[in-house]
A = this chain, B = another copy of it.
Amino acid sequence: MSPTEGIRPLRQLPTRRLEALVDGVFAIAITLLVLEIRVPIVDSARGGDLAHALLDQWPSYVAYTITFFVVGAYWINHHRMFYLLRGVDHTFLILNIFCLMAIAIIPFPNAVVAEYLRDPAMRGVAAAVYGLAMFTLAVMFIVTFWYASLKGLFREGVDTAKVRKVLRSYAVGPVIYLLGIVLSGWAPLAVLIVYFLMPLGYLFEGPVVEIDEGYLGAGS
């Protein structure tokens, strides 16, 4: 059986809608992060201090910034990979739903970390939960597009070996998240700091799969 049999080409099942669902879930998940940042209830009659109360919830701002940035970077990567696809089959659609499930749950571990970041007794569990969510997201992402490479779902001009190399480079993430989960019982603060610094890597572009311009000129 040829690797392209049973694939619904992108032109047939318009990917526009799959992209719309994916972009929608990403956009909503990152925007819902703001719901975790609550307006502090301060009573001025009792000498409450709004400025202090606002500064006191700094973990919420830190978590918001880091998590928003990570999910935003995932969106960039999903965008890039997805663009290389020529078509999708049913299994890809199913795998992609699990990817979205891993994206849409992110506000939850984000809130757990924001809530328990400062509590030394709880910090380890919070770090493990955050690490587990990020690990799952990273693995689902790699599995989904690795499947695409196995089934020949990429466009003609795309070098599948290069795609796999890029996907393999993404595997550094889940390995660190997994290590972090294991170590979160011993050094939770160190784990959280590593987790929070990891997104800095996204500031650099990293490996990119180029497509032959000619093909695109004809096909897009």
Contacts and interface: CB of A to CB of B under 8 A. Distances in A.
A54 B16 contact: no
A37 interface: yes
A125 interface: yes
Contacts of A175: none
Contact of A20 (B14, B19, B54, B202): B19
Contact of A116 (B18, B26, B50, B119): B50
Interface residues of A, number: 71
Contact of A129 (B18, B54, B213): B54
Instruction: Give the dominant DSSP class at A's interface.
Output: helix
20 contacts: A11-B220, A12-B213, A12-B216, A14-B220, A21-B23, A21-B27, A24-B24, A25-B30, A28-B32, A29-B31, A30-B100, A31-B104, A34-B106, A35-B107, A39-B112, A39-B115, A51-B125, A69-B98, A73-B94, A90-B204
Interface of A: 11-14, 16-21, 23-35, 37, 39, 42, 44, 50-51, 54, 64-65, 68-69, 72-73, 75-76, 79-80, 83, 90, 93-94, 97-98, 100-101, 104-108, 111-112, 115-116, 119, 121-122, 125-126, 129, 202-205, 211, 213, 216, 220
